[in-house]
C-alpha cells in the first residue's frame, strides 16, 4: 500500500508538471517540472514521507531498465547509423568525455579557489 501511495504521489507531481508545462508553453518538459515541484514540496515539508521513499527506491534502483525500450529503437535507424557511423561514434565518444572532463575540472578548480580564498 505504501508503494502505491508513493507512486500516486510521483504520478500526481508529474501530472501537475505536465499541465503547467503545456498551459504556459514552457520549454521545460512535464516530468522535470514535476521534479522541481516535488523538490519545493520537500523543502517546505522538511522530510521525505515514508510512502514516497518506498516508491522512489525501487524506481531509482532499477533505473537502467527504463532505458531499454527506447534503446532498442536503434533497430529503426540501422541504415542511417550504417552510413554515418564514423562521425556518430567519434562525436559521441569525444564530446561525452570532453563534457565530463570540462564539468569535473571546472568544479574542481572553483572548489580549490574557494578553499584557498577561505584560508587567506
Which is closer to another protein, CB of 23 or CB of 65?
65
Grid coordinates in use for 89?
Answer: 561514434
Whichever of 1 and 43 has its CB closer to another protein, that residue is 43
Q: How crowded is residue 33: how many other Cβ atoms within 10 Å of its Cβ?
A: 20
Closest to another protein by CB, 1 vs 47, is: 47
The Cα 62–Cα 52 span in angstroms is: 16
Closer to another protein by CB, 2 or 96: give it.
Answer: 96
Residue 48 backbone zone (phi > 0: left; psi -120 to 50: alpha; other: beta): beta
Kindly state the smallest distance separating residue 92's Cβ from another protein, in Å.
Answer: 6
Minimum separation from the CB atom of position 61 to another protein (A): 8
For residue 19, the minimal CB distance to another protein (Å) is: 13
Closest separation between CB of residue 107 and another protein, Å?
3
Please count the CA atoms within 13 angstroms of the CA of 69 that sit on its side-chain side. 2
Amino acid at each position: 500500500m505504501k508503494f502505491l501511495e508513493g507512486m500516486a504521489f510521483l504520478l500526481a507531481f508529474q501530472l501537475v508538471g505536465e499541465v503547467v508545462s503545456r498551459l504556459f508553453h514552457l520549454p521545460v518538459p512535464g516530468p522535470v517540472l514535476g521534479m522541481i515541484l516535488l523538490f519545493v514540496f520537500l523543502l517546505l515539508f522538511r522530510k521525505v514521507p515514508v510512502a514516497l521513499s518506498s516508491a522512489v527506491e525501487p524506481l531509482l534502483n532499477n533505473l537502467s531498465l527504463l532505458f531499454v525500450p527506447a534503446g532498442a529503437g536503434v533497430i529503426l535507424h540501422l541504415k542511417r547509423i550504417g552510413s554515418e557511423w564514423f562521425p556518430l561514434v567519434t562525436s559521441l565518444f569525444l564530446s561525452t568525455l570532453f563534457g565530463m572532463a570540462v564539468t569535473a575540472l571546472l568544479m574542481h578548480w572553483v572548489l580549490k579557489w574557494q578553499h584557498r580564498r577561505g584560508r587567506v
